[in-house]
């Protein structure tokens, strides 16, 4: 089963149709149907490592100032408490708490899954990001999740390689500042060559401005850990920038998704709608 990292950008991507949401949809149609989906979202950033373990997670609207249509979005995917317990066992000795009532499915998850798996009929679990842990912890925990892929669990990390909300320029609808491009390029070099070295990106000259807070960057480390465990690098699904200071670069591991920078998305989407048994995973 593949794994992926998506740059999810604005919550409005849940409603909009653009080249990024087309790429997410193509990913969803181009892979075998997962048994379940485990998401590491930038928006569950707490002081513990936890898993959602409720049978019916709620849809969380963790933002403000957006149109009413966005607050009306519901992603009624079921949970899987039994799988949550299995995941907690898989990652031992790392301790993971089971959350049965406090969280659910936040917009870092449903803004992507609405396009990739619009029927909301696959169980979805979220793994929190432990704010107290160093980058190496998240890389190692990502690697510990690797056995789940052999059990039909799709692992998705959702964040942004570059995420500086204070730096947004609304006139730059599809371009990035030079510092954003430099850091995104450095991350691409690591992820497509030596993903296990991803924590060293915190030493990059543009890390402070590209990653002023770590929660959107950390999900990338989970895919890096999975790539290291698989002993092969990730591949770029699609790349680009919005508002100068947000990177939308997405990576996949072991997924055949014919999307890339400069590729015609309409043709690629048709290629992506192949039967699961014909996909080359």
From the list 35, 226, 63, 254, the residue with the least C-alpha distance to 138 is 226
CA–CA gap between residue 177 and residue 89 (Å, rounded): 43
Q: What band does 23 get if pLDDT is binned at 50, 70 and 90? A: very high
Residue 82 and residue 114 in contact, taking contact as beta carbons nearer than 8 Å: no
Residue 180 and residue 241 in contact, taking contact as beta carbons nearer than 8 Å: yes
Residue 96 to residues 49, 141, 151, 218: CA-CA distances in angstroms?
5, 11, 19, 17
CA–CA gap between residue 76 and residue 57 (Å, rounded): 8
CA–CA gap between residue 218 and residue 186 (Å, rounded): 15
Higher pLDDT pick, 125 / 64: 125
Task: Count other Cβ atoms within 10 Å, centred on residue 12.
Answer: 15
> Max alpha carbon distance in the chain (Å)?
48
Mean pLDDT score of the chain, rounded to an integer? 90
From the list 69, 58, 63, the residue with the least C-alpha distance to 124 is 58
Q: Looking at residue 186, which CATH number applies to its domain?
A: 3.40.830.10
The answer, yes or no, to whether residue 173 has pLDDT greater than 80, is: yes
Q: What band does 66 get if pLDDT is binned at 50, 70 and 90? A: confident
Containing domain of residue 215, as a range? 3-278
CA–CA gap between residue 183 and residue 160 (Å, rounded): 12
Q: What band does 13 get if pLDDT is binned at 50, 70 and 90? A: confident
Centroid of chain to Cα 222? 9
Phi, psi for residue 253 in degrees, rounded to 5: -125, 120
Q: What band does 262 get if pLDDT is binned at 50, 70 and 90? A: very low
What CA dihedral angle connects 139, 213, 187 and 279, to 10 degrees?
Answer: 60
What CA dihedral angle connects 187, 222, 158 and 254, to 10 degrees?
Answer: 80
pLDDT given at position 71? 86
Domain count for the chain, please give it. 1
> What would the mean pLDDT of 266-272 be, rounded to a whole number?
36
Tell me 32's DSSP state: P
Beta bridge partners of 247: 241
């Amino acid at each position: 089963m593949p794994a992926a990292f998506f740059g999810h950008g604005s919550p409005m991507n849940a409603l909009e149709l653009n080249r990024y949401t087309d790429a997410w949809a193509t990913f969803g149609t181009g892979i075998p149907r997962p048994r379940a989906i485990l998401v590491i979202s930038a928006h569950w950033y707490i002081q513990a490592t936890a898993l959602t373990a409720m049978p019916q997670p709620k849809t969380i609207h963790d933002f403000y100032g957006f149109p009413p249509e966005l607050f009306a979005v519901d992603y009624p995917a079921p949970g899987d408490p039994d799988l949550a317990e299995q995941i907690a066992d898989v990652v031992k000795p790392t301790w993971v708490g089971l959350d049965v009532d406090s969280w659910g499915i936040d917009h870092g998850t449903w803004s992507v899954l609405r396009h990739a798996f619009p029927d909301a009929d696959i169980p979805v679990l979220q793994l929190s990001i432990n704010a107290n842990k160093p980058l190496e912890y998240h890389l190692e925990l990502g690697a510990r999740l690797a056995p789940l892929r052999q059990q039909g669990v799709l692992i998705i990390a959702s964040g942004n390689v570059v995420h500086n909300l204070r730096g947004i320029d609304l006139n730059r609808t599809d371009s990035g500042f030079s510092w954003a491009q430099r850091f995104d390029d450095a991350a691409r070099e690591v992820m497509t060559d030596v993903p296990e070295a991803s924590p060293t990106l915190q030493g990059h000259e543009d890390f402070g401005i590209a990653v002023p807070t770590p929660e959107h960057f950390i999900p990338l480390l989970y895919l890096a850990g999975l790539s290291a465990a698989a002993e092969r690098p990730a591949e770029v699904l699609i790349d680009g920038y919005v508002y100068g200071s947000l990177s939308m670069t997405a990576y996949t591991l072991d997924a055949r998704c014919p999307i890339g920078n400069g590729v015609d998305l309409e043709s690629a989407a048709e290629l992506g709608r192949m039967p699961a048994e014909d996909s080359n995973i």
